[in-house]
Structure 1
Amino acid sequence: MTRPIWIGATCALALAACNQERAADPVDRAQDAASAPVGQMSAATMGSNMVSAYVPNAAMGDMYEIQAADIALERTQNARVRELAQMIKTDHTAASEALQRQVPQAAPDVAIPSSLDQRRQGLIDNLRSASAADFDRVWIDQQIAAHNEALTLHRGFADQDSPLAEHARSVVPKIEAHLRQAEALKAAM
Structure 2
Amino acid sequence: MIRPLLAGVACVALLSACNKEQSPEAVDKAQDMAAAPVGQASAATMGANMVSAYVPNAAMADMYEIQAADIALQRSKNAQVKELATMIKTDHTAASNAMKAMLPQAAPEITPPTGLDERRQGLIDNLRSASAETFDRAYIDQQIAAHNEALTLHRGFSDNESPLAAHARSVVPKIEAHLRQAEQIKGAM
**TM-score range normalised by the length of the shorter chain:** 0.7 to 0.9
Q: Does 1:25 align with 2:63?
A: no
How big is the shift at 1:119? 0.4
Deviations 1:36-69 (A, max 9, x none): 0111001001111111110000000000000000
Give the residue type in structure 2 aligned to 1:60: M
CA–CA distance in structure 2, aligned partners of residues 187 and 148 of structure 1: 17
CA–CA distance in structure 2, aligned partners of residues 30 and 165 of structure 1: 34
Q: Does 1:178 align with 2:182?
A: no
Indicate the RMSD between aligned Cα atoms, in angstroms.
0.8
Q: Does 1:153 align with 2:153?
A: yes
How big is the shift at 1:146? 0.2
Aligned residues: 168
Question: Residue 97 of structure 2 corresponds to which residue in structure 1?
Answer: 97
Q: Does 1:113 align with 2:113?
A: yes
Question: Residue 49 of structure 1 corresponds to which residue in structure 2?
Answer: 49
How big is the shift at 1:27? 1.2
Percentage of matched positions with identical amino acids: 76
Give the residue type in structure 2 aligned to 1:95: A
CA–CA distance in structure 1, aligned partners of residues 34 and 99 of structure 2: 28
Q: Which moved more, 1:131-140 or 1:27-36?
A: 27-36
CA–CA distance in structure 2, aligned partners of residues 132 and 168 of structure 1: 35
CA–CA distance in structure 1, aligned partners of residues 104 and 40 of structure 2: 26
Deviations 1:7-59 (A, max 9, x none): xxxxxxxxxxxxxxx72111111110111011100100111111111000000
Unaligned runs of 5+ in 1: 1-21
Deviations 1:120-159 (A, max 9, x none): 0000000000000000000000000000000000000001
CA–CA distance in structure 1, aligned partners of residues 92 and 60 of structure 2: 11
CA–CA distance in structure 1, aligned partners of residues 136 and 148 of structure 2: 18
Moved over 2 A (4+): none
Question: TM-score scaled by structure 1?
Answer: 0.88
Question: TM-score scaled by structure 2?
Answer: 0.88
Question: Residue 71 of structure 1 corresponds to which residue in structure 2?
Answer: 71
Question: Residue 4 of structure 1 corresponds to which residue in structure 2?
Answer: none
Unaligned runs of 5+ in 2: 1-21
Larger radius of gyration, structure 1 or 2? 1
CA–CA distance in structure 1, aligned partners of residues 111 and 32 of structure 2: 27
